[in-house]
A and B are shown apart, each in its own frame.
Chain A
Amino acid sequence: MTDDIIDERELRELEARVRKLPREIAPPADAWAAIRSQMGASESPSLTRPVRTPAFWQRPAFLAAAALMLVAGSSVITAVAVGGRNRDVVDRPAMSAGQVTPASSAPASLAEFTAIENDYISTANRLAAMVESDDTQLSPETIAKLKESLRVIDAAILEARRALAADPANRELMEMLSTSYNQKVDLLRRTTEMGRS
C-alpha cells in the first residue's frame, strides 16, 4: 500500500518539532499590562482591607502535590517501558495484560496527549539507541527486520498524527496514536531484552 510508505525524514522533523514544544506557555505580555493597570486603578490603600486567603489550588501544598503528580504521571510510560528490563518472568494474571484499557483513560485533550507523546518519543529514542549500541547482541539481519517493523509503525503514527492535526479534538485518534506509540515502545523494549548481554 503506497500510503504506508513513510517519509522518515519528515517523521524525524515532526518528532524534533514536538520535542521543542514548550511544556507550558506564558500569558501574552499585554495581559500583564492590563492586569497591572486594573490593579493600579483599584488600589485604595486601606489598613482594614482583609488579607485575601488564596484559593485551595493556589496553596503551596496543593501546588507541590500537583507537581509531584505531574512528575509521577509523566514518568509512568518510561517506567513501564524500561522497568521490565531485568525481569525474567512477566507479570502474571494479577496484573492482567489482557485487561482492556478503559476509554476514560485516553488523553482528554490534545495538550495532554502531546505531553504523553513527548514521553513516548523520548522513551522510544532511548530504547532505539540501546538497540543500535555497540553492546547489542543482535545480528544485523534482526536489526534490519526490527527497523522494517519500526518503519511500519512510524508510517501509521505519521498518518494518524496528520489526521489529528486536522481534527485536534478527536479522542479516538489520540487513543489510536497512543496504541501505536505503545506498540513501538514495547517492540523496542522486547528487542532490547533479546539483545541484552
Chain B
Amino acid sequence: MRPSRVPMTGSVLAAALVLFGASESAAQAKLNRGLPLNSDGGVRIYNNVGSVRVIGWKRDSVAVRGNLGKGNSIHMGGGKGGIKMFIEGMDDRNPAPADIEVYVPAASKVWVKTATANVEVTGVTGSLDLYVVGGKISVKGNPADINAEAIDGSIVVNGSPGWLRAKSASGDVTLDGSSQDVTISTVSGKIDADGTGFERAKFETITGAIRFAGSFRRGAHVRFDTHSGSVEIGMPAGSPADFDIVSIAGPITNKLTSARAVKGRYGRGAELTASSGDGGSRIEVRSFKGPVTLLRLE
C-alpha cells in the first residue's frame, strides 16, 4: 500500500533546517545525532513511514538513533527552546521506512506526525501531540496531556495523563489507567477504557463498541454516546454513580443495581434512571439502537 503523503510544512521547513541545522547524507543508513534542548523544550518530529519511538530521559538534550532507510535523509535543527526534525525520502511517493528512536528531556513537549509510521512514546511527562493516518499510536507513562489523532490507526494509552483526547475513525482506542479529563471518539473503532479517577469524560462512537470498566470520582460528569454500537459499563458494586440512560430503539440491561428500564418518554425505546452507592457522579448514556448494559465488577 502506498503510504499517505503527509506534508512536512513544505520546502520552507526544509530550507530552514538546512540553514541552521544539518542533514545526514542519504547514503548513511545508520543514524546517531544529538542536540542540546532545555528540559521543557519542544520537539517536532515528522516521519511518514517506518516507526518513531520517543523516550523521555533525564538529560537536557535530544539524541536521535536508528535506521534511516535507503535513500532517506534526516533534516534536523533548532535551538535550546525547540528542535525540529524530519525524514525525507528520495522518492516522495514510495519512501523507504525509517525507524528512529528519539531521546528527549522527560518534561519536553513532543509533537509527532506520520502517515503509516507507528508512534511509540514512553516516559515523557510533558505534553504530547501525536498524529497518524494509518499507523498505531502507543503511549506509556504519565504525560501532562495527550492529544492523539488517527484516521484508521489505533491508539493505546497505558498510564495516567492529566488530560486525554484520542480520536480515530476506524481504529480502536484503548485506555488503561486514569485521567481526570478524557474524550475518546471513534466512528467504527472499538473503545476500551479501564481505570479510575475519571472526572470529566466523554466516550463517543457511531458503530463501534464501548466497554468501560472502572469507577468515577464523586462529582464526575461522564457521557457515553453511540448510534448502534454496544455500550457496556462495568463498575464495582457500591461505586457512586447516578445513571441517566436513554435508548431510542435499543435494549437496556441493568446488572449493577435493582432498578429496571422503563419505556421511553417519547413512547418508544427505553430509559433507565438508577443510582449506585451514594450517587454523586452523573453518568449519561445516549444510544440510538445499540444495547446498553450496566455490569457489576467483582
Q: Name A's B-contacting residues (CB within 8 A).
A: 1, 4, 88-90, 92-93, 96-101, 103, 137-142, 145-146, 148-149, 152-153, 156, 159-160, 163, 167, 169-170, 172-173, 175-176, 179-180, 183, 186-187, 190-191, 193-197
Contact = CB atoms under 8 A, between A and B. Distances in A.
Interface in B1-44: 1-7, 10
Interface residues of B, number: 55
Given A149-B169, A179-B204, A187-B151, 18 more contacts: A4-B228, A88-B111, A89-B109, A89-B147, A92-B163, A96-B181, A98-B165, A100-B222, A100-B223, A137-B4, A139-B2, A139-B115, A141-B1, A145-B152, A149-B188, A172-B286, A173-B288, A197-B10
A94 to B, nearest CB: 10
Contacts of B127: 89, 92
A150 to B, nearest CB: 8
B292 interface: no
Interface of B: 1-7, 10, 109, 111, 115, 127, 129, 131, 133-134, 145, 147, 149, 151-152, 162-165, 167, 169-170, 181-183, 185, 187-188, 200-202, 204, 206-207, 221-223, 225, 227-228, 246, 248-249, 266-268, 284, 286, 288
B248 A169 contact: no
Contact of B133 (A93, A98, A142, A153): A142
Given A152-B206, A156-B288, A145 B3 contact: no
B157 to A, nearest CB: 14
A146 B151 contact: yes
B181 A93 contact: yes
A196 B46 CA distance: 14
A115 B145 CA distance: 35
Contact of B288 (A139, A176, A193): A176
A191 B134 CA distance: 12
Closest 5 CB pairs of A and B: A149-B169, A156-B227, A98-B181, A149-B187, A97-B183
A183 B204 contact: yes
B84 to A, nearest CB: 11
Given A96-B200, A141-B2, A156-B207, A191 B151 contact: yes
Given A100-B202, A146-B151, A183-B204, A173 B248 contact: yes
Contacts of B3: 139
B133 A194 contact: yes
Given A90-B147, A153-B187, A145 B200 contact: no
